[in-house]
Each structure stands twice: as C-alpha cells, then as structure tokens.
C-alpha cells in the first residue's frame, strides 16, 4: 500500500465514523423527542375512556399517579377502549346467552376438564330444554374452544373480556342463571309437567274412548 | 475548603470559642455529607434518566408509575437492592470481593471534591485540580480488577482484564486533551480554568481555537471509554461476558457498582463543562463583575418585586407556549383537545399559572420587611444559585449526550477499541497539543 493510500484511508475512516455516528444520533434524537410513543398504557387508558367495559365485573381503581392524570399525559395515543382493538377471533372469557340455550349438554360433555355444568328443564313455549343451571368455572377453563365449536345454537361464545383476575378463587365460578330465574323455571317446569301429564291422560282417555 | 473554614471562623463568634481545629473538622464532615449525598442523588437520578432516554429512543415511555412521571423510581430500585440478599460465592476471595465496589465508589466520590458548582461553591479548589481528577479516575481500574479477580469467575476476570487494558489506554488521550486546556489556561485549578474562559462564548475553550475544539471531542470520547460506557463497554459486554466484572455481585454491592458508574457520568460531563464549556460562566452575563446584560439587570436587582413578577409572567407564558407547541406542532391529532373538550388538560395550565402568581404575590408581600436585605439576597442568588443552575444545566445537557450515545451506537470490538485509542485519539491528541502551542504563540 502506498503512503498516500494509507493517509487517504486514515482520514477516510475518521470522516466515515463522524458522518455515520452523527447520522445515527440524528435518527435516535428524532425518535426520542418527536416520534409518537407506541406504548399502550393499558389499565389507565382503558379506565379513563372505557365505556365498553363489562359492568358485571368489579370496577378497577384508577392506577394513575394523580400528577400524571392532572397533566393529561395518560390520554396521549388513546386508540379507543382496548376491547375494540383485539383480533376478530380473540378468545376471551366464555360468554353465554341464556335465551338461545337448549340445554343439550353438548358443551358440558365436550369440555375436557368439566368446566361447564348445565341442567335444563322442559317448559312450555320453548324449543328444547330451558336451562336452570349454567355454571362456568373460569379458574379451570383453558380456552380450548371445544364448547363454542360444538354449541348448535351459539349460546356459548367467546367474549372480548380478558380481565379475569380476582382476589378470591370462588369469584371465578360464575352462575349465569340467577336464583330467581331458577325458581321461576322450576315452577314453569312443574306447570309444564302437570300439563304434560294432563295431556297424557287426555290422550289415554281419547285412546280408551276410541277403543 | 480552607477559605470556607476561614470565612466561617471569622464570621461566627461561637466557632471561635470552639477552636479552629474542631471547626475545620465540622466543616469537613458537613462538606463530605453534602458531596456524598449529591453524588448519591445524581447517580440515582441518572438511573431514572437513562431508563427514560432508553424508552424514548425506543418509542416507549420509560418508567412512569412510581411518583410523577416515574420520578421516584430510583428510590424504589434502591430500596429493593438494599433489601435483597447479598450473596458471596463460596470460592470468592471474601475480603477483596467485599471491598472492591467501595473502592470504585471512592474513586467517583473523590472526584466530586474538585468539581465546582459556582465561583464560591467548591469543596477544595486544589491548585492541581485536574491532575487530581486524573488520579481519582484511576481508582476505577483497581476496583474493577479487584472485583474481577475476587469473584473467582472466568467471565468476571476477563471483564476485569479488559477494563484494565481499556482504561489504562484511554487515560493517555484523556490526559492529552486536558493538557491542551491546561496549556491554554495556564493553571490546573478548576476555578482557574473556568476564570480563564471569561468574556463570552468565543472565549470558551471549545470555540477559542480549532485545536481545543478537537481536544474537546478527544476528551469526551476517551472519558466515556474510561467510565466503561457504551460504545466502549467491553468490560461488561453482555453478549460475550454475561455481565463482566460484576457477574457474581448481588444486592446493594451490585447497586454500588451502578451508583459509581452513573455518578461517573456526571463527573465526566462536569469536567468537560469546566474545561471546555466555560463552567458556570453565562455568555453576556458574567457572574462576579456582571457583564453588559448583567449590569442592565442590576437596575432591577434593587426592585425585587418587579423582577419576581416579570419572572412569574415569563414562566407562565413560556409554559403556555410550550403546551401550545405540544398541542399544535407535535400532536396535531389532538388539536381540539387543547381548547375545548379536555377540561382537565387546560385546567392544569391555569393551576400552574395560579401557583406561579401566588408565589409572586408571596414574594411581593415578603419583600417589604426584607427590603433592607434585598441587595444581599439578590447578590447571593447571583453568586450562588445562578452559577450553580448554569453549571448544572450544561452538565446535564452533556450527560444527555452520554446517554444518547449509549442508545445509539453498537459496542466496539476489542481490537477496534484499541485501534481508536492508539491509532486515532493519541496521535490527534499530540497534534492538538503542539498545534495549540503554535496557536498561542501566534495569537497572543
């Protein structure tokens, strides 16, 4: 290597390092001070605006330090309640529509860990059986989705609710049929039973008459 | 320090009753307390600051849960570190293992002795201040090697050896760059170097000649290498050495390593500010014999009420302007948020403004009984507070650059590291030294 080439390389190295370092530093400077932050401050954001939160779950306290709330810093980058930003097939906590259920017990039978417990009675004016008990134990559920797949009427489905944390184990066992409805159903079922027996009797009488 | 002791001894009668030696001892103890606490606070704040900067450069937010804007995070971290179990490996050299982090800390804490905070605020204005700084800086290498050796761990030992090679090499360009400053200022005392830069921004050694301009960069690069920060952090290269010399350390001993490292950031920026950026000097407003603007401001010094009111108004206006800038320029999507819908947001500005005006009013009321002492108070403010804030701001800006480097640049290889030092920094440093000599011969 000639001496002139060596000198060229030496100063070229200095030039290159200065320019590349300043370019890199400009990029990080821009990012640090002018770019929008991507952090989603999950609990605080959702709480400040989250109208769509499930009202049946206990409300969480505002976790923000008061100073930050005062300056409104937490409201930056708000992209709507978190529930609306989940993917289409998100597997949240299991939901249940009592009106659609026919108490066919498919979900309970398909559940690999006996999370679901269903009981139903026959009442008037309703297809299939009407549920008197529908209980899901969220502490056991592993969100496999077998119950959802198998349900013929889409009564069991995945919600977008994902905040299942509680302080006590038993609060994770959720009854979807209220005690009042349960009693009402039982009464209706008895009525239906009586009617059915009467129907049977009438049928028998009719048959006897015919004979 | 001697001046301070003499001042206090001359002023207060009860100290004369106590005697000179006890007074000196008390003052020394107080100074030590102040310095150590300042050092602890600075290193704590830098851990927070670094995490914030790291977050920003990654488009994140950084810590923001503990205290306002996560400001108290470092205290939480400290409490956690103190409460954790301190594990010492069975095969370690116990006494050296225990002592090493404190030696590192000692080196950093001793540097704070000669760092000035204002024309009259310095623990010891040694006539060999800069030399002393270079000497205390070498404590680091001893501490690191001790930590690496005593851990009885091959990675720790490798880290220690690397740090020795690195720090010893980089001390040469560091000293060369400072030598340029000493040559120009004609003194090694920190205050003397700052006083030599009086008279405006073009007298700062950064801008006074092309050679000292280069020397600044040589100093800055080699100082960053000397405190083992990225991009020169090969002693603790995670990808190669797991954690380097501190691999076996846990709990507060580990924390002490980091306290020393983060304290060092302030030390090197403070030395750079002292040597190249005019220290506590403000351009146009020289403290001491107040410059042109200072003399103009002097008219207001007697009128404390006007000054305070103006200060309050200016602060309020600048705060509103800042918020407006954020709302309109940086964050266009929330244009309406500034004026209408976000009541809380707008309210906060009013609140701050109200507090400012309340403070101004308080000063207005207070200044009536204090009228006789006002010139003294403002003299004190201009002699102590303003220089300190100026120095501190400059040092913090430089520290931001150090943190900024860390989150921008990748780590150098060992051979590249040595190449930078021996092939580039040292020859250029020598050239600067000679060039500065010629420059001074030509222009003075």
3-state helix, strand, coil in chain A (%, to 5): 45, 10, 40
- Look at residue B216 in the predicted model and tell me its pLDDT: 92
pLDDT at A56 over 80: no
Instruction: Please return the burial class of B78, using the count of CB atoms within 10 Å of its CB with bins 0-12, 13-18 and 19+.
Output: middle
Best of A63, A71, A73, A80 to substitute, by most chain B Cβ atoms within 10 angstroms, is A71
Task: Say if CB B402 and CB B224 are below 8 A apart.
Answer: yes
Helix axes B20-57, A3-34, angle to 10 degrees: 90
Structure confidence at residue B209 as a pLDDT band (50, 70, 90): confident
Structure confidence at residue B348 as a pLDDT band (50, 70, 90): low
Cβ separation of B57 and A32 shorter than 8 Å? Answer: yes
Q: Where are the beta strands (DSSP E) in A24-183?
A: 94-96, 116-121, 130-137, 156-158, 173-175
Which chain A residues contact residue B65 at CB under 8 A? 63, 65
B71 part of contact set with chain A, CB < 8 Å: no
- Look at residue A58 in the predicted model and tell me its pLDDT: 36
Residue boundaries of the structural domains of chain B:
7-281+393-443, 292-369
Cα(B96)–Cα(B248) distance, integer angstroms: 13
- Exposed e or buried b per residue across B408-430, where buried means at least 16 C-beta atoms within 10 angstroms of its C-beta: bbebbeeeebeebbeebbbebbe
- Look at residue B407 in the predicted model and tell me its pLDDT: 87
Instruction: Please return the burial class of B82, using the count of CB atoms within 10 Å of its CB with bins 0-12, 13-18 and 19+.
Output: exposed
Q: Nearest C-alpha of chain B: how many angstroms from A162?
A: 22
Tokens 């059915």 sit on residue: A196
Lowest mean pLDDT among A57-71, A116-130, B110-124, B242-256: A57-71
pLDDT greater at residue B155 or residue B344: B155
Task: Say if CB B38 and CB B112 are below 8 A apart.
Answer: yes
Give me the torsion for CA of B268, B269, B270, B274, rounded to 10°.
Answer: 100
Task: Please enumerate in sequence order all residues whose Cβ is within 8 A of that of B254, keeping only pairs 6 or more positions apart, or say none.
Answer: B81, B101, B246
- Look at residue A49 in the predicted model and tell me its pLDDT: 44
Lowest mean pLDDT among A159-163, A175-179, B91-95, B291-295: B291-295
pLDDT at B89 over 90: no
Give chain A's contact residues with B (Cβ, < 8 Å): 10, 13-14, 21, 24-25, 27-29, 31-39, 41, 63, 65, 67-73, 75-76
Q: Which residue of A has its CA nearest to B400?
A: A29
Which chain B residues contact residue A65 at CB under 8 A? 65-68
Question: How far, CA to CA in Å, does A72 sit from each of A68, B49, B65, B70, B282?
Answer: 6, 21, 14, 15, 35
Cβ separation of A72 and B348 shorter than 8 Å? Answer: yes
Cβ separation of A69 and B344 shorter than 8 Å? Answer: yes
- Look at residue B29 in the predicted model and tell me its pLDDT: 86
Cβ separation of B408 and A36 shorter than 8 Å? Answer: no
Lowest mean pLDDT among A10-24, B304-318, B413-427: B304-318
Which tokens is B141 given?
């290498």
Q: Looking at residues A110-122, what average pLDDT do you find?
A: 90
Q: Which residue of B has its CA nearest to A29?
A: B57
Which chain B residues contact residue A76 at CB under 8 A? 331, 334
Cα(B415)–Cα(A25) distance, integer angstroms: 24
- Exposed e or buried b per residue across B283-318, where buried means at least 16 C-beta atoms within 10 angstroms of its C-beta: eebbbeebbeebeeeeeebeebbebbbeebeebbee
Q: pLDDT tens digit string along B129-158?
A: 888 988 888 888 888 888 888 888 888 888
Q: Which residue of B has its CA nearest to A26?
A: B408
pLDDT at B256 over 60: yes
B53 part of contact set with chain A, CB < 8 Å: yes
Cα(B286)–Cα(B364) distance, integer angstroms: 27
CATH domain A94-210 topology: Alpha-Beta Plaits (3.30.70)
Cβ separation of B57 and A75 shorter than 8 Å? Answer: no
Residue boundaries of the structural domains of chain A:
42-84, 94-210
Which chain B residues contact residue A73 at CB under 8 A? 64, 69
Q: Looking at residues B337-352, what average pLDDT do you find?
A: 51
Give me the residue from A10, A34, A68 closest to B64, CB to CB.
A68
Instruction: Please return the burial class of B268, using the count of CB atoms within 10 Å of its CB with bins 0-12, 13-18 and 19+.
Output: buried
Task: Say if CB B137 and CB B226 are below 8 A apart.
Answer: yes
- Look at residue B414 in the predicted model and tell me its pLDDT: 83
Q: Which residue of A has its CA nearest to B70?
A: A65
- Look at residue B227 in the predicted model and tell me its pLDDT: 84
Cβ separation of A76 and B334 shorter than 8 Å? Answer: yes
Cβ separation of A72 and B69 shorter than 8 Å? Answer: no
Which chain A residues contact residue B417 at CB under 8 A? none
pLDDT greater at residue B105 or residue B294: B105
Range of B118-127, B182-191, B280-289, B378-387 with top mean pLDDT: B182-191
């Amino acid at each position: 290597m000639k001496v002139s080439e060596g000198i060229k390389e030496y100063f070229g190295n200095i030039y290159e390092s200065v320019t590349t370092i300043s370019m890199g530093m400009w990029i990080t400077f821009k990012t640090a001070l002018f770019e929008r932050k991507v952090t989603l401050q999950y609990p605080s954001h959702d709480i400040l605006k989250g109208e769509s939160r499930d009202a049946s779950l206990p409300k969480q306290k505002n976790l923000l330090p008061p100073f930050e709330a005062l300056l409104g810093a937490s409201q930056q980058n708000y992209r709507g309640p978190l529930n609306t930003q989940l993917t289409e097939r998100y597997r949240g906590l299991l939901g249940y529509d009592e009106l659609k259920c026919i108490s066919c017990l498919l979900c309970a039978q398909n559940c690999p860990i006996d999370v679901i417990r269903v009981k139903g009675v026959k009442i008037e004016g309703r297809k299939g059986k009407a549920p008197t008990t529908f209980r899901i134990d969220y502490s056991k559920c592993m969100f496999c989705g077998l119950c959802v797949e198998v349900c013929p009427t889409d009564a069991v489905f995945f919600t977008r609710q994902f905040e299942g944390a509680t302080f006590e184990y038993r609060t994770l066992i959720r009854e979807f049929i209220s005690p009042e409805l349960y009693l009402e159903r039982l009464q209706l079922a008895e009525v239906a039973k009586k009617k059915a027996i009467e129907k049977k009797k009438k049928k028998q009488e009719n048959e006897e008459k015919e004979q | 320090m001697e001046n301070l002791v003499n001042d206090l001894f001359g002023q207060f009668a009860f100290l004369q009753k106590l005697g000179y030696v006890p007074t000196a001892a008390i003052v020394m103890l107080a100074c030590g307390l102040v310095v150590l606490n300042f050092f602890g606070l600075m290193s704590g704040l830098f851990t927070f600051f670094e995490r914030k900067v790291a977050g920003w450069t990654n488009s994140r937010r950084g810590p923001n849960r503990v205290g306002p804007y996560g400001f108290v995070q470092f205290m939480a971290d400290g409490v956690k570190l103190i409460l954790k179990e301190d594990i010492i490996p069975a095969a370690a050299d116990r006494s050296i293992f225990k002592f090493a982090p404190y030696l590192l800390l000692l080196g950093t804490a001793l540097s704070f002795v000669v760092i000035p905070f204002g024309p009259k605020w310095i623990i010891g204005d040694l006539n060999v201040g800069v030399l002393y700084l270079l000497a205390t800086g070498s404590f680091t290498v001893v501490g690191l090697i001790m930590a690496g050796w005593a851990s009885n761990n091959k990675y720790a030992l490798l880290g220690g050896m690397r740090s020795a090679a690195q720090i010893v090499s980089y001390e040469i360009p560091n000293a060369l760059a400072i030598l340029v400053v000493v040559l120009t200022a004609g003194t090694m005392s920190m205050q003397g170097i700052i006083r030599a830069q009086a008279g405006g921004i073009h007298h700062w050694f950064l801008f006074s000649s092309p050679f000292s301009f280069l020397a600044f960069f040589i100093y800055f690069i080699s100082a960053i290498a000397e405190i083992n920060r990225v991009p020169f952090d090969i002693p603790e290269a995670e990808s190669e050495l797991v954690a380097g010399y501190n691999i076996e350390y846990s709990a507060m001993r580990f924390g002490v390593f980091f306290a020393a490292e983060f304290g060092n950031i302030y030390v090197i920026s403070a030395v750079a500010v002292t040597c190249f950026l005019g220290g506590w000097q403000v351009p146009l407003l020289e403290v001491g014999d107040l410059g042109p603007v200072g003399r103009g401001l002097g008219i207001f010094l007697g009128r404390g009420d006007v000054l305070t009111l103006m200060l309050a108004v200016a602060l309020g206006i600048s705060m509103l302007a800042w918020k407006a800038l954020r709302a309109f320029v940086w964050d266009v999507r929330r244009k309406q948020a500034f004026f209408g819908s976000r009541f809380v947001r707008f309210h906060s500005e009013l609140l701050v403004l109200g507090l400012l005006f309340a403070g101004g009013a308080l000063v207005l009321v207070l200044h009536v009984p204090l009228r006789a002492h006002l010139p003294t108070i403002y003299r004190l403010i201009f002699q102590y507070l303003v220089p300190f804030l100026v120095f501190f701001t400059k040092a913090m800006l430089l520290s931001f650059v150090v943190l900024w480097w860390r989150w921008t640049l990748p780590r150098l290889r060992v051979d590249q590291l040595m190449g930078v030092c021996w092939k580039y920094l040292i020859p250029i440093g020598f050239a600067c030294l000679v060039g500065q000599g010629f420059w001074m011969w030509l222009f003075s």
